[in-house]
Amino acid sequence: MRFKKVTPRILLMIGLTYFFAPFSGHAKDLPMHETYSTAKNQSLTVAATRYAYRKLGAATGVPLVLLTHTRGNMDTWDPDLVDSLAQKRPVIAFDYKGTGLTGGKAADSFAEMADDTFAFIKALDINQVDLLGREP
């Protein structure tokens, strides 16, 4: 499937829309290597920038990509919430360019953050994702 260009405004609106099931309380049922707290950091290089990310959860389903607030990193997510979300689908958290464990210079605008997010998702070779954003 070919991606259409997503405008930063649309990405921001999608990212700020909260679509998740209520906390299930069953995160402790995940195998230890499948919890957010113990998931290994991985990396992926996109246009000379090494992005840090974590992927966990179900092997099938539409992946949920977690977007943090400006200058946030993947460690700002509540592990219990992420574990709950990962019960029925893959979940991917990543650090924006220039934040956390990701290299490069931090984006100067929301448009650049959206472009970087789009490039990261495209490099993962995923045809469809849902986005979940968080505020500080």
| 49 phi, psi to nearest 5 deg | -110, 130
- Asked if residue 22 is part of any domain, the answer here is yes
- Asked if residue 51 is part of any domain, the answer here is yes
> What's 67's domain CATH number?
3.40.50.1820
Per the structure, the complete domain to which residue 26 belongs is given by 8-133
pLDDT digits (tens, 9 = 90+) for 12-63: 444 433 333 333 344 444 443 479 988 999 999 999 999 999 999 988 899 9
What predicted TM-score, i.e. pTM, was given to this entire model? 0.75
pLDDT at 83: 93
Q: How far apart are CA 116 and CA 95, in angstroms?
A: 10
pLDDT digits (tens, 9 = 90+) for 87-119: 989 999 999 898 889 888 888 898 998 999 999
- Ranking 6-10, 58-62, 69-73 by mean pLDDT, the lowest is 6-10
- Asked if residue 1 is part of any domain, the answer here is no
Number of domains in the chain: 1
- Asked if residue 3 is part of any domain, the answer here is no
pLDDT at 24: 39
- Asked if residue 40 is part of any domain, the answer here is yes
- Asked if residue 41 is part of any domain, the answer here is yes
